[in-house]
Structure 1
Amino acid sequence: MSHTLTEHGAGGSHRKDGGADDGGPERPPRRRRVWRWVLLALLVLVLALGGTAWWLYHGLDSNLNNVDIDKSLGKDRPEKLPTSGQNILVLGSDSRAGANAELDSGHVSGARSDTALVMHIPEGRSRATAVSIPRDTLVTRPACTTGKGRQLPEARRQMFNSVYSLGGPACVVKTVESMSGIRMDHYMEVDFAGFKDLVDALGGVRVTTEEDIHDPKSGFDLKAGTHRLDGTKSLRFVRTRYGVGDGSDLGRIGLQQKFLLAVLTEVQHQDVLGSPRKLYRVADAATKSLTTDSGIGSLTDLARFGRSLKGIDPGSMETIMLPVRYDTQDPNRVVAAHPQSEQLWKALHTGQPVPESAKKSPATGG
């Protein structure tokens, strides 16, 4: 399989100054498959913890946040799949407001959908395909209603990751359904800042770095070697941008990948699933970082859904970046490539294997 979780990169542009993407000078989009691995692994961890603990700890239900996507979007949506297959929109949000400002220098407020995956699980649920939508893709945001009831008019040439910050989950779902023609059966959002309490519940996480980290912006310093980081230091570790590499997102993504693997290793090493007391603490932290649609908005429903996916091997899950090309008006942005994107969405809708031609992205030369 040519597109697996071990491949590198994903689409998107990267600012060295760490500011919000406002159309200023930026690096060209690059492939960022590492984020897919981070998000998918976290999703597997959350589902595994929920699936093991739900019948012991019903109190965890209160941790889960959920949104009623069906109520917000009404009936003007694509038809459901003609099979028992499922489509799930998974967002990785990076909240930088309030207590989460310690993630970096705190100059960027609000939250953005830094990672977006359309996970397609065909009938039989023995395999899955995850389609990554680059955050810098220019899209048409359809008219939608925000979580606070405000009406947003249709807007063209909007950067995909701005839809979440302006309109919230329902507007993101409607945008994805509009651009793909495919109905999203479920919605899941993972707040990466939720790792802080998860790390503290584990008693810290051991990470190893090959070079010194010195971030003059946040003041975070870490000597090369092996360290056990608590939750606060872990946040600084995964958010440092200026202390590694050339100051772009690429170095930080590498640290985030290293950190998540360290978390999963720690869970396995401590035999968390074999210790009810520790399992509760970890599950408590994990569920606090999760928002779902109301259809899987309880721990019981989430656990049942997680168990239905147990036949899928995350290591062999096919991951594909939405085929994109550089925008002719703004080379720092990308747009969906045609006809490749239509071929991709059609394959998911019909449950057929994605053709190789639909996996080629002109913007990356792949």
Structure 2
Amino acid sequence: MGRRWAGAVILTCYLLFIAALVGGGLVVSGNLVLSATLATQNHWLLLMGVTAFVVAVLWMTVVVHSYVITRPESRTFGRRLVAGAVVTVLCVAVASPAAAVGYVSYTAYDVSTTLFESAGSEPHDDADPWNGQDRVNVLLLGGDAGKNRYGMRTDTMIVASIDVETGDVVLIGLPRNLENVPFPEGTALAERYPAPYGFDNLLNEVYQTVVDEPALAINPYATDPGADTLKKVIGFAISLDIDYYALVDMQGFEDIIDAIGGIRVYLEEPLPYGQRGEYIDAGWQLLDGRKALWYGRTRVNSDDYSRMGRQGCLIKYVAEQADPATILTSFRSLASAAKSTLRTDIPQPKLPHFVELAEKVAKADMETLQLSPPQVNTAYPDWEHIRALVHHAVYDTPLPAASGEDAAPDVGLSPESSAADTGETPAEQPEPTPHSPGRQVGEEATALDELCP
């Protein structure tokens, strides 16, 4: 049409845009930290959304303007109708990818700002994200809040100690029925429940105790004072600095598993669950969210400690099987599930480095140390021996001989602790033995590959 300068500018901008997309893709494809930074940091997410909108508007303007200057002067109604339809289709074709980018950017921005703290209390340096630490320790909590329950009990408590160089993980499982938990000196909890007996409830009641009485919180200004206090209490009890926590409601756990497409597990024998005589069949099974939740929670013909072993297996399976492509295609449902069920104090600047660490974990070795009978007497725990067990598992320090208290504990469960949350009578509970499936026995951490077929 003789508009050479305009055509040259538009064509140049278009080619530069394509080149930028190709170049950007090549750069981020080999840099996981950079990719995660773009996907998790608020300013980059907003920039991507705004850029997609601006590009779409400019591109649609070019389409409409090109039609205006090229249309013939005399046209029939039919030709005008066809031309308008073609222009509309072209504009929609341009706007749709931009709308998709904008939607994903906003969703990621919403999840990022809702779940993660924008700034941490500790300084953050991308060159040394773990502040010189060899390991990062995260407390994984599973709560059982529900319409038919008061409050929330943290029946699942696992400390994941991760080697930041290799990704090797030691999972330290704490039974829900640990008693006499000690509290850090000088805290309101320590004054309310002094030594030598300490807390007069089970360990899984600490969270709700703080929620019911906020004055007992170690840091009342934390986003979730109950979870923050439990993190510090468990860290003190096992003498391990715990950096962060992640709390997921177990009912919402179903949605998270469904969002990643389920998990494949192998069962050597059928696993009974529920009150209606249901079973998960033996062999390889693809578990949806509901069955995965039962796999990690059931105690039918089992016990608390076998359940702890299966919960460690769940973590292993998710780490190995959470496919990035599936996560991307299910991003909307996964984001929705995470927003409604997950709470954490992991600061936003750490997210890219956790993504990089997760990639290492998926290929690394996983071990578990269950602080359960026969190595620990849950009714009368020897906390000094427990601390020695933990440090031996995490740091490979020498392990002293167990004290008399822990040498030959009663591995039976009290009627209160074994049947309280299942509706089963104590007589229906089998007597647990060290040979129950999933049970880690002995004072050495056990490879999860041995407990998880």
**TM-score interval, smaller chain:** 0.5 to 0.7
Equivalent residue number for residue 96 of structure 1: 145
Whether the 8 Å contact between 2:139 and 2:159 is mirrored in structure 1 is yes
Structure with bigger RCO (C-alpha 8 Å, 6+ apart): 1
Equivalent residue number for residue 354 of structure 1: 397
Pick the aligned partner of 1:191 from 238, 249, 261. Answer: 249
State whether structure 2 residue 199 is matched by structure 1 residue 153: no
Structure 2 unaligned spans of 5+: 1-32, 46-104, 123-129, 211-225, 410-440, 444-453
Whether the 8 Å contact between 1:212 and 1:222 is mirrored in structure 2 is yes
For the residues of structure 2 that align with 1:260 and 1:266, how far apart are their CA atoms?
Answer: 10
State whether structure 2 residue 112 is matched by structure 1 residue 61: yes
Aligned amino acid, residue 204 of structure 2? N
For the residues of structure 2 that align with 1:111 and 1:51, how far apart are their CA atoms?
Answer: 34
Whether the 8 Å contact between 1:50 and 1:283 is mirrored in structure 2 is no
Whether the 8 Å contact between 1:322 and 1:341 is mirrored in structure 2 is no
Task: Give the 5 Å matches for 1:195-234.
Answer: 195-202=253-260, 210-211=269-270, 213=272, 215=274, 217=275, 219=276, 221-222=278-279, 224=281, 231-232=289-290
The Cα of 1:64 is off from its aligned counterpart by: 1.6
Structure 1 unaligned spans of 5+: 1-46, 72-80, 99-105
Pick the aligned partner of 1:303 from 338, 352, 364. Answer: 352
State whether structure 2 residue 182 is matched by structure 1 residue 140: yes
> Which structure's CA Rg is the greater one?
2
For the residues of structure 2 that align with 1:212 and 1:180, how far apart are their CA atoms?
Answer: 32
The Cα of 1:221 is off from its aligned counterpart by: 3.4
The Cα of 1:291 is off from its aligned counterpart by: 1.8
The Cα of 1:118 is off from its aligned counterpart by: 3.5
1:250 to 1:279, Cα distance in 2 relative to 1, 3 A: same
Structure 1 or 2: more helix by fraction = 2
Aligned amino acid, residue 178 of structure 1? F
In the TM superposition, what whole-angstrom CA distance separates every residue of 1:109-166 from its partner, at most 9, and x where no partner exists?
Answer: 33222233344446746544443333333312346469xxxx9723433232222221
Aligned amino acid, residue 59 of structure 1? D
Task: Give the 5 Å matches for 1:201-280.
Answer: 201-202=259-260, 210-211=269-270, 213=272, 215=274, 217=275, 219=276, 221-222=278-279, 224=281, 231-232=289-290, 235=293, 239-242=297-300, 246=301, 248-249=303-304, 267-268=322-323, 271-273=325-327, 276-280=328-332
Pick the aligned partner of 2:134 from 66, 85, 93. Answer: 85
Normalising by structure 2, report the TM-score.
0.46
Equivalent residue number for residue 6 of structure 1: none
State whether structure 2 residue 330 is matched by structure 1 residue 289: no
1:345 to 1:82, Cα distance in 2 relative to 1, 3 A: farther
The Cα of 1:93 is off from its aligned counterpart by: 1.7
Normalising by structure 1, report the TM-score.
0.55
Whether the 8 Å contact between 1:116 and 1:134 is mirrored in structure 2 is yes
2:369 alignment partner, SS class: strand
Which segment drifts farther, 160-169 or 219-228? 219-228
Equivalent residue number for residue 336 of structure 1: 382
1:354 to 1:112, Cα distance in 2 relative to 1, 3 A: farther
1:229 to 1:136, Cα distance in 2 relative to 1, 3 A: closer
Aligned amino acid, residue 285 of structure 1? A
For the residues of structure 2 that align with 1:322 and 1:141, how far apart are their CA atoms?
Answer: 18
Whether the 8 Å contact between 2:299 and 2:307 is mirrored in structure 1 is yes
Whether the 8 Å contact between 2:319 and 2:362 is mirrored in structure 1 is no
In the TM superposition, what whole-angstrom CA distance separates every residue of 1:36-86 from its partner, at most 9, and x where no partner exists?
Answer: xxxxxxxxxxx9x97895365323224526699979xxxxxxxxx994334
Root mean square deviation, CA, Å: 5.0
Aligned length: 281
Identity of aligned residues (%): 22
Structure 1 or 2: more strand by fraction = 1
In the TM superposition, what whole-angstrom CA distance separates every residue of 1:269-325 from its partner, at most 9, and x where no partner exists?
Answer: x9415xx332443344346433221xx243x53233332464446641343345988
1:88 alignment partner, SS class: strand
